[in-house]
Amino acid sequence: MPQPRAIGSAKLSVSTDALGKTRLRDLRQSGSLKLVFPQTYSHDAEAVLVNTAGGITGGDKLTLTINVEGGAHLRLTTQAAERAYRAQHDEIGSFETDITVQDGSSLHWLPQELILFDRCALKRRLSIDLAPTARLLMVEPIVFGRAAMLEVLNDVMFQDRIRITRAGRPI
């Protein structure tokens, strides 16, 4: 079995301080997946996901884990469009994301688009668990080739699974 080319993982947990401002509680990151935090003047936190590998190709393995603790508010986006590049015949890239949003918290999941290129192979999974009073704003744009570049997709393997639950029940 081929070995992953790019391996990256990031784990982020945010919570609120005594004044109600969302703060970084825990951050762990390794490999090609990074989170950066732009300066904001809001009580909400903002995080930007960066894939330093420049895209995903066959054999890559990326994982992201986010925990938004009670009362915290997080906006998460990406630095640029994610790209799923051509893969070898027997290699599949993967990107798995697990998010927990606790009671009284909110998450704005706003990544830029995923661009699929011809002969890409990608399995993507997004799992979001919402507490009973948690809030979610989510956008997941996908671009099937770039029309302006006259790209045509003839052979693509793309599996995208999104699961959102509230208090353990699918919504």
SS3 per-residue string spanning the chain: CCCCCCEEEEEEEEEECCCCCEEEEEEEEEECEEEECCCCCCCCEEEEEEECCCCECCCCEEEEEEEECCCCEEEEEECCCEEECECCCCCCEEEEEEEEECCCCEEEEECCCEEECCCEEEEEEEEEEECCCCEEEECCCEEECCHHHCCCCCCCEEEEEEEEEECCEEC
In a domain, 56, yes or no: yes
In terms of residue numbers, what domain contains 71? 7-164
The predicted pLDDT at position 41 comes to 87
The mean pLDDT value for 27-39 works out to 96
- Give how far the C-alpha of residue 134 lies from the chain's centroid of Cα atoms, to the nearest Å: 19
The band of 75, judged by pLDDT with boundaries at 50, 70 and 90, is: very high
The predicted pLDDT at position 153 comes to 84
pLDDT at 2 over 70: no
In a domain, 25, yes or no: yes
In a domain, 152, yes or no: yes
The predicted pLDDT at position 86 comes to 92
pLDDT digits (tens, 9 = 90+) for 10-23: 999 999 999 999 99
In a domain, 117, yes or no: yes
The band of 89, judged by pLDDT with boundaries at 50, 70 and 90, is: confident
In a domain, 150, yes or no: yes
Domain count for the chain: 1
In a domain, 2, yes or no: no
The predicted pLDDT at position 140 comes to 94
The mean pLDDT value for 88-112 works out to 96
In a domain, 169, yes or no: no
